[in-house]
Amino acid sequence: MVTPEHITTVVIGAGHAGLAASHFLSARAIDHVVLERGEVANSWRRERWDSLRLLTPNWQSRLPGHHYGGPDPDGYMTMGEVVEFIDHFATGMPVRTGTTVTSVRRTDDGYQVTTDAGEIRCRTVVIASGACNLPAVPALRQAIPDTVEQITPFDYRGPSSLPDGGVLVVGASATGVQLAAELARSGRPVTISTGEHVRLPRLYRGRDVLWWMDAAGVWDQRYDQVPDLTRARRLASPQLAGTPDRTTLDINALTDLGVELVGRSAAVRDGEMLFSGGLRAVISLADLKMERLLNTFDEWAAASGADVKPSERFEPTRVPKSTRLRLDLRGGEIRTVVWATGFRPDYSWLDVPVVDEKGHLNHDGGVVESPGLYALGLPVLRRRKSTFIHGIEDDAREVIDHLAVYVGAHAASE
Amino acid sequence: MTAIDSIDNGVNVQALLDAREALKGAPEAAQFTWRATTKWENGVHTSTTVKDFFGLGEERSHKAEHSFTADHPEVFAAEDNGITPIEYLLVGLASCLTAGVASVAQNRGIQLRSVEATVEGAHDIRGILGADSDVRNGYNGVKVSFNIDADASKEDIEALVAQSQKRSAVFDALTNPTDVTVEVV
């Protein structure tokens, strides 16, 4: 039998989160390895559609000791540019690509990590495998007639990958609004079904809305100060797109593109999709919440004397006088349903009982319930900005600080 | 038509059939608006009155104003002055379906001796408490059981109940989406 390799820390995933962990582990001279099933920044390479750009402006794309230095600070990186940016950050880091973790188990003094390339024994594990490994699709997908094609964002590359004809996009978070806009521009009739969503303008008072999130301190709000952490961690991504013209992509923008608006998809019955009649409620909630956020920005701007343009307000979301409550999926009007209904992490390989009944990891600011097990890169892990690229630095530093203390105490007790 | 003439469930089917014919050519007269006005009393206790409605082209009134008290039971830390709002949905559904059974039976010449509907709504209250965002606020399911004594076969009675659902306003309102607008005036 081959003796398993021994190492202090195994980091799972070589995306920006795992690499940031590696950065701080190296700074503390903790021996470690970063295991990656594919290549560095694999999800950005393989699991995104062609036109996608980062939601955050270039100047905000920063990793520990690594900044955007290009000519367009206000632009948004293409996927190729993101891959290049993360690849560059990974230079010199102990990354093993093409190594898939198949199991993580607790041992007496740490963890046993099994991969398709062998076994590793370690004291600590940092889970940085991402929050969006699988598309989350509601059960009503099973009732969709066979004549309608169903796809998730993982299958989508561009409009040409869909059959001609009408498209129903279910979900109006960042993914849903972006795909709806792109499909409408391709000439297809598009209907978008929306439940609760987060409306944001791309620019506010002359600045990127994500500049405001940063400057006004919204993004730095800590996980232990967020009033409803469960809700904050489940919040859908905002209606934003990173486009060269820096335009807003909210429901009004979709309406201008000819996209039809319907309520939340409630059920499929006899081949018909039924939509909630509560559309106006979710629309007015989103408008009110955006208004509240803009008020927060205004208050901060007044108090700080920030150099910004005058306050502005946006047109309320237009809702047609009557929207369709049902849509016949058998009539040929809709050829494709796009499930833009969110993503979920995949912990099927994690054989430690730290995943709740909804498939989420039990952790306190990235410190998982099982000693020596850590997580990075999950929504509101330690701050509201946790899942954004620039949000990883503070989280990774603090989580690795905790890990270092644990490893030190562990070593001293031996 | 002898069967219809000889039985009496107390439903004036002829008037309804006449109305159906008359309104086929006058859709505007068929537009009704039902109204209720709710006043907050205290806590989760409310009082609702129903009197006026619009129909057949003009403002109309019930013979008397009816009042409905809603509250929540003591296990909800409330005073239990009345039934809960979601129980009123059961009241509406069961009374609508039962009225439908009587009307259809009259039309089909079936004499009813007794009709009892029992309705149950399964409700996971974690939804309204915000304890789990995957749990819906409303009923997860509603079950209606009819116990009908009538001069008819089991099949005919089942057909009555089926037709009653087909023409029920409340059954439709509960089982199909409805556009609801809520505003502050």
pLDDT, tens digit, 9 for 90 and up, residues B148-172: 999 999 999 999 999 999 999 999 9
CB contact under 8 A, B134 and A276: no
Give the burial class of A289: count Cβ atoms within 10 A of its Cβ; 0-12 exposed, 13-18 middle, 19 or more buried. Answer: middle
Going along chain B from its start, the domains and CATH numbers come out as 1-28+84-176 (3.30.300.20), 31-82 (no CATH)
Return the pLDDT at A412. 57
> Over 80: is that where the pLDDT of A269 sits?
yes
* Residue percentage of chain B with pLDDT more than 70: 97
Return the pLDDT at B134. 87
> Over 80: is that where the pLDDT of A167 sits?
yes
d(CA A40, CA A34) in angstroms, rounded, equals 10
The torsion defined by the Cα of A164, A168, A170 and A171, in degrees rounded to 10, comes to 80
**Alpha helix ranges (H) inside A127-267:** 174-185, 209-215, 229-234, 251-256
pLDDT (tens digit, 9 = 90+) per residue, A13-27?
A: 999 999 999 999 999
Indicate the residue of A231, A279, A326 with minimum beta-carbon distance to B133: A231
Mean pLDDT of chain A, nearest integer = 95
- Are A112 and A121 in contact, with CB atoms under 8 Å apart? yes
In this structure, which topology does domain A5-133+345-412 adopt according to CATH? Answer: FAD/NAD(P)-binding domain (3.50.50)
Return the pLDDT at B1. 43
d(CA B23, CA B28) in angstroms, rounded, equals 8
CB contact under 8 A, A276 and B177: yes
- The residues spanned by each domain of chain A are 5-133+345-412, 135-339
d(CA A391, CA B11) in angstroms, rounded, equals 70
CB contact under 8 A, B176 and A323: no
The average pLDDT across A319-335 equals 94
Q: How confident is residue B13, by pLDDT bands cut at 50, 70 and 90?
A: confident
> Over 80: is that where the pLDDT of A210 sits?
yes
CB contact under 8 A, B176 and A325: yes
CB contact under 8 A, A325 and B180: no
Task: Count Cα neighbours of B173 within 13 Å in the Cβ-side half-sphere.
Answer: 11
CB contact under 8 A, A280 and B176: no
Give the burial class of A126: count Cβ atoms within 10 A of its Cβ; 0-12 exposed, 13-18 middle, 19 or more buried. Answer: buried
CB contact under 8 A, A277 and B133: no
| DSSP one-letter code for A239 | B
Question: Which residues in chain B have Cβ-Cβ distances shorter than 8 Å to A276?
Answer: 177
Question: Which residues in chain A have Cβ-Cβ distances shorter than 8 Å to B133?
Answer: 230-231, 234
Indicate the residue of A266, A281, A322 with minimum beta-carbon distance to B177: A266
DSSP for A375-404, please give it: E-S-TTSSBTTTTSGGGHHHHHHHHHHHHH
Return the pLDDT at A410. 66
Indicate the residue of A234, A277, A322 with minimum beta-carbon distance to B177: A277
Between B27 and A9, the higher pLDDT residue: A9
Report the residue of B133, B135, B179, B183 to disrupt the A interface, i.e. the one with the largest count of A CBs within 10 Å: B179
User: Phi/psi zone of residue A249: left (φ > 0), alpha (ψ -120 to 50 degrees), beta?
Assistant: beta
CB contact under 8 A, A281 and B179: no
pLDDT (tens digit, 9 = 90+) per residue, A58-75?
A: 999 999 999 998 999 999
Return the pLDDT at B2. 44
> From the CA of A207, how many Å to the nearest CA of chain B?
33
> From the CA of B92, how many Å to the nearest CA of chain A?
19
pLDDT (tens digit, 9 = 90+) per residue, A239-265?
A: 999 999 999 999 999 999 999 999 999
- Relative to beta strand A343-344, strand A134-135 is antiparallel
> Over 70: is that where the pLDDT of A1 sits?
no
Question: Which residues in chain B have Cβ-Cβ distances shorter than 8 Å to A236?
Answer: none
> From the CA of A353, how many Å to the nearest CA of chain B?
21
* Residue percentage of chain A with pLDDT more than 70: 98
- Relative to beta strand A110-115, strand A118-127 is antiparallel
d(CA A195, CA B81) in angstroms, rounded, equals 35
The torsion defined by the Cα of A147, A151, A156 and A159, in degrees rounded to 10, comes to 30
Structure tokens at A70: 């290009």
CB contact under 8 A, B180 and A275: no
Nearest Cα residue in chain B from A320:
B179
Structure tokens at B75: 């296990």
- Are A192 and A254 in contact, with CB atoms under 8 Å apart? yes
User: Which residues 6+ apart lie within 8 Å of B96 measured at CB?
Assistant: B168, B169, B170, B171
Return the pLDDT at A400. 98
Mean pLDDT of chain B, nearest integer = 93
State which CATH number among 3.40.50.300, 3.30.420.40, 3.50.50.60, 3.30.300.160 fits the domain covering A135-339. 3.50.50.60
d(CA A178, CA A251) in angstroms, rounded, equals 11
Q: Identify which of A356, A353, A377 has the alpha carbon closest to the alpha carbon of residue A365.
A: A377
Indicate the residue of B134, B176, B182 with minimum beta-carbon distance to A274: B176
- Are A173 and A340 in contact, with CB atoms under 8 Å apart? yes
> From the CA of A368, how many Å to the nearest CA of chain B?
22
Return the pLDDT at B46. 98
Q: How confident is residue A4, by pLDDT bands cut at 50, 70 and 90?
A: confident
CB contact under 8 A, B178 and A325: yes
Structure tokens at A163: 């059959």
Indicate the residue of A230, A277, A281 with minimum beta-carbon distance to B178: A277
ipTM confidence score: 0.77
Return the pLDDT at A398. 98
Residue A139, SS3 per DSSP: helix
Indicate the residue of B133, B177, B181 with minimum beta-carbon distance to A325: B177
Nearest Cα residue in chain A from B184:
A284
CB contact under 8 A, B180 and A277: yes
Nearest Cα residue in chain A from B136:
A266
Return the pLDDT at B7. 83
pLDDT (tens digit, 9 = 90+) per residue, A333-387?
A: 999 999 999 999 999 999 999 999 989 999 999 999 999 999 999 999 999 999 9
> From the CA of B179, how many Å to the nearest CA of chain A?
4
Structure tokens at B110: 């079936």
Beta strands (DSSP E) in A301-393 are 326-328, 334-339, 343-344, 363-364, 367-368, 373-375
* Residue percentage of chain A with pLDDT more than 90: 93
Indicate the residue of A266, A274, A322 with minimum beta-carbon distance to B179: A322
The average pLDDT across A30-47 equals 96
Question: Which residues in chain A have Cβ-Cβ distances shorter than 8 Å to B182?
Answer: 280-281
Check if A5-133+345-412 and A135-339 are the same fold: yes
CB contact under 8 A, A326 and B176: yes
Task: Compute the count of residue pairs across chains A and B with CB atoms less than 8 Å apart.
Answer: 30
> Over 70: is that where the pLDDT of A37 sits?
yes
Report the residue of A261, A276, A288 to disrupt the B interface, i.e. the one with the largest count of B CBs within 10 Å: A276
> Over 90: is that where the pLDDT of A231 sits?
no
CB contact under 8 A, B179 and A230: no
CB contact under 8 A, B177 and A231: no
> From the CA of A176, how many Å to the nearest CA of chain B?
20
